[in-house]
Every structure is written in structure tokens, then in C-alpha cells.
Structure 1
């Protein structure tokens, strides 16, 4: 999908009691361009899923689904054993997203199960990974080994800027 813009940047969002959170400005404009509403009004759709390997969420625009399916199909075929069977967990892990609307300010309601699974409480750290956006509980992120130093430093920076102790 050559016409999709890529997600770069990060930021911190306050999550209210209902799970409502705003996508940071650095990522919001890209999402709005990648997932415009059919009626031309502000807002659109974001798909939120449990990350297959990390203790976080992954979010993306609906246009990315075709790319994701192609990747999962390729990985599934590569898993084919000598008995002809494939690993069904490849698609189970990658296909757990839930589409939710976001408004013109980038606010959306984080689905309950993914939020619970990732341990996201009152704050969510967003980080662009080109094709998608990762959403982390800040404390979990800084305690997770082997993440890029710049990502951890950005999370610490945004939390410090908002007066949030980790």
C-alpha cells in the first residue's frame, strides 16, 4: 500500500475511567490521512489488537489489514511441516484486532480486553513503528528488557514532562 503514510513519533495520553484516550498529535494526523471517514468528516477507524510478542497493544488503520494478512499468510505457509499441517497460532496471534471509531481530536475508547491484557491504566504511551502504532503502559515499557533505548527514553521524557513517576 504505497499511498499509506508511515507512523513516526510518540507521545503520552491520559486514559479516563471509560478507557477513552487521545492519540498524540505526532501520530493523529497520519492516522486521519490513512483512515478517513467516508463522509469526509473528522475522525475515522483505528484497529486495536494485542501485540503478538510484546506486553503492549498494536494499533493501525484498516488499510493495513491487507498487508497484515499477506504477512500472516506467508508466515503460515512457511510453518508448513512435513505432514502438510501449518501452525494455526500464527493467524490466531496476528488477527485479534478490534475496530473502533476515533473522533476529530483523535479520541477513541480502548477496547476492554486489549487494555486489560496490556495492563494499561491511567496513562498510555504511543510509539510509531512505521506500519502501526504500539500502545504501552509506561511502567511496563520501562521495565521490559531489550527495547530500543530511544523508545524507553522517550517514554521517560513524556512521563517526566507530565509529572508522572515511573
Structure 2
């Protein structure tokens, strides 16, 4: 079996009175494993989707290694490649945050603002990382699977009626 950490599944979290969100248990276990046993969560902004991303420290190393691979391939092919800019794009926006044993963490304010997140988030595991969405933004994203958009829409509706937190 590979050492690659793969995130799947999904869950909602509503900020507590202190503004903390809760990382879902299965994702929390994988983040801790990917971070060498530490409760360290890396958060960034997805360059294309309008959501945040989350992962453990091992994925940060993967992103760095991937840039080195792309740089090597460009060199071998005689193509220009701006590795510094690529590292800025992939690594420069990452914020490392701690989470407690219950999974509570503060979403970095810059990432929160960029993703439009207020008091609720939707975690969406998509492989080497998970996405962190403002629920309303995911529903309005036509590229997301209908099954997921409909699930989130139902949660938003239930929350508006007072049935979901």
C-alpha cells in the first residue's frame, strides 16, 4: 500500500461561539498521520474553484517536490519554467494551523475572506487534499457533482428551517 494520504467523504461544520470549526474525525486522523503525528493542518486557497483546501504536512512536501519535477522536465525539454513563481503559487498561500484533540481550529482570516466563509463550512475530500467550501458557494458551482450540490442545498434548507446546525 502507498504512503499517499487520500481524503474522501464530506461533512459540515458550524463555527462555535469562539469562531472555531471542527475538522471531521476521519479527516482529522489522516491530517495527523500526514503531519507526522502532529495536530497540524495546512490550509490554502484553491487556485480555480473558489474554495479553501486542507491537508497535512506531507502534501506540502509533495507540492514542493512536484515543482522540482516540473522544473527538471522543463529543463530537459529546453522550455522556460519559472520555478520561483510556481513555488509562490503552490506554497506561498499555505497557512499552518494547530487543531486540538477534538479537531477544533481557527480558519485563518485571509483564507476565510478569500473563500467567502462566514459561520459554516463544508468539507469535501477529493484525494490528496480536501476542499473547504462556503456551503452556498458550492451549491452555486455548476462543476461540482449534482449529488454533492443537492446534499449541501438540503443542509442549507434544513438549517434555514432550524433543523441543522
Does 2:9 correspond to 1:9? yes
Deviations 1:92-132 (CA, angstroms, capped at 9, x unpaired) = 22111011101111111111101100000110110011211
Gaps of 5+ in 2: none
1:51 to 39, 46, 49: 46
Q: How far apart are 1:85 and its partner, in Å?
A: 5.1
Could you tell me which residue of structure 2 aligns to residue 153 of structure 1? Answer: 150
TM-score by length of 2: 0.80
Distance 2:74 2:160 in 1: 44
Does 2:129 correspond to 1:132? yes
More helix by share: 2
Distance 1:15 1:77 in 2: 43
TM-score by length of 1: 0.80
Mean Cα deviation higher: 119-128 or 70-79 = 70-79
Does 2:96 correspond to 1:99? yes
Distance 2:21 2:63 in 1: 25
Distance 2:32 2:154 in 1: 26
Could you tell me which residue of structure 2 aligns to residue 25 of structure 1? Answer: 25
1:60 to 43, 55, 61: 55
Q: How many residues align?
A: 158
Does 2:123 correspond to 1:143? no
Q: Secondary structure at the match of 2:57?
A: coil
Q: Secondary structure at the match of 1:49?
A: strand
Q: Secondary structure at the match of 1:47?
A: strand
Deviations 1:12-53 (CA, angstroms, capped at 9, x unpaired) = 11124654100123422322333323xxxxxx1000111111
Distance 1:105 1:164 in 2: 27
Change (3 A) 1:150 1:90: farther
Q: Secondary structure at the match of 1:103?
A: coil
Change (3 A) 1:128 1:18: same
